[in-house]
Amino acid sequence: MTEEATPPVTPPEAPTWFIDEGVPGVGARPAWLNEKFKTVADLGKSYSELEKKVGTAPEDYDFSKSKYIDPDYVPFQELKQIAKDKRVPQDVMDKMLESFDKYMDEFSINPDEEMQKLGENAKDRITTLDNWAKANLSKDSYEALTSNLRNADSIKALEELRGKMMSNTPQVPNGNDAGVHNTATLDDIKLELSNNLEKYKSDPNYRKDLQARLEVAAKNAPGYIDKIGA
C-alpha cells in the first residue's frame, strides 16, 4: 500500500491593507486608500483633522448679525457662494460681518447730535433752507441736494450759499472783485434810514432799493422762518 504525499501548506498572503488596527481588509488594496494610510481608520482620522483646520461651511450663511448687509443683495449672494466653495466656517464669516459693521459705524451720523450743533433754532433754520431750496431749485436738484444734507456742517454751508445768493453779493473769482461784500444787517438798514429819512421820503428809487435790502436783511436775521420759500 502506497502512502499518498501530503501537499505543502501555502501560508496566507500578508494583507496589503487594513480596515482598522488588526483588522485586515479583503482583496486588493482599494484605489481610494492612499499608500500613506495604513488603515481606513487612519484615513478617517486624517480627514477629521483636516476639517478642523480648514473648517466646515454651513448649508447657508447667516448674515443676521450685521446691521447693514442685505443678504438678498446679489453681490452678497455671490460672497456666500465663494465662501462656501472655500469652506469658510460661519464663525469666520461672523467676524467679517463684525468688522464690516464697525467700519460702517465710523461713517454713521447721529441726527440728534447734528441738531444740537445747529442750536436751539435748528428746526427753524432747516425749515427756512427747505422752503428756499424748493422755491429756487428744480425737483431733481432739490432731491439731490436735500438727500445729502446729513450733518450740521453741510446745512451751514447751504445757509451761507443762500445768504450770498439773496444778497446778490457773491465773491467773483479770478480777481474781478476786491472781495466779499457783507450783507447789511437790520441794524445797518435802520441806521441808514435814520440818517437818510428825507431822501427815503422823496426819492422813490432809493426807497425801493432800501426796502429790498431791508427784506434781505430781515430774512438773514437769526430766528427768521421763510414761510414761502423766497
pLDDT at 175 > cutoff 50: no
pLDDT at 151 > cutoff 80: yes
Residue 94 — pLDDT band, cuts 50, 70, 90?
A: very high
Residue 225 — pLDDT band, cuts 50, 70, 90?
A: low
pLDDT at 88 > cutoff 80: yes
Residue 178 — pLDDT band, cuts 50, 70, 90?
A: very low
Residue 33 — pLDDT band, cuts 50, 70, 90?
A: confident
Residue 74 — pLDDT band, cuts 50, 70, 90?
A: very high
- At 177 the pLDDT is 45
pLDDT at 89 > cutoff 60: yes
- At 169 the pLDDT is 54
Mean pLDDT, residues 29-56 = 73
pLDDT at 6 > cutoff 70: no
Mean pLDDT, residues 98-123 = 87
> Which tens digit of pLDDT belongs to each residue from 123-140?
888 888 888 888 888 888
- From CA 62, how far away is CA 71, in angstroms rounded? 8
- From CA 208, how far away is CA 229, in angstroms rounded? 21
pTM: 0.40
pLDDT at 113 > cutoff 60: yes
pLDDT at 227 > cutoff 50: yes
Residue by residue, DSSP assigns 110-135 as: -HHHHHHHH-TTHHHHHHHHHHHHHH
CA distances from 9 to 6, 12, 196 (A): 9, 9, 139
- At 204 the pLDDT is 86
Residue by residue, DSSP assigns 23-80 as: EE--SSPPTTS-TT-SBHHHHHHHHHHHHHHH----SS---TT-SS--TTSHHHHHHH
* Backbone CA torsion sign across 25, 28, 33, 39: positive
- At 48 the pLDDT is 66
- From CA 8, how far away is CA 5, in angstroms rounded? 9
Share of the chain above pLDDT 90, in %: 13
Residue 215 — pLDDT band, cuts 50, 70, 90?
A: confident
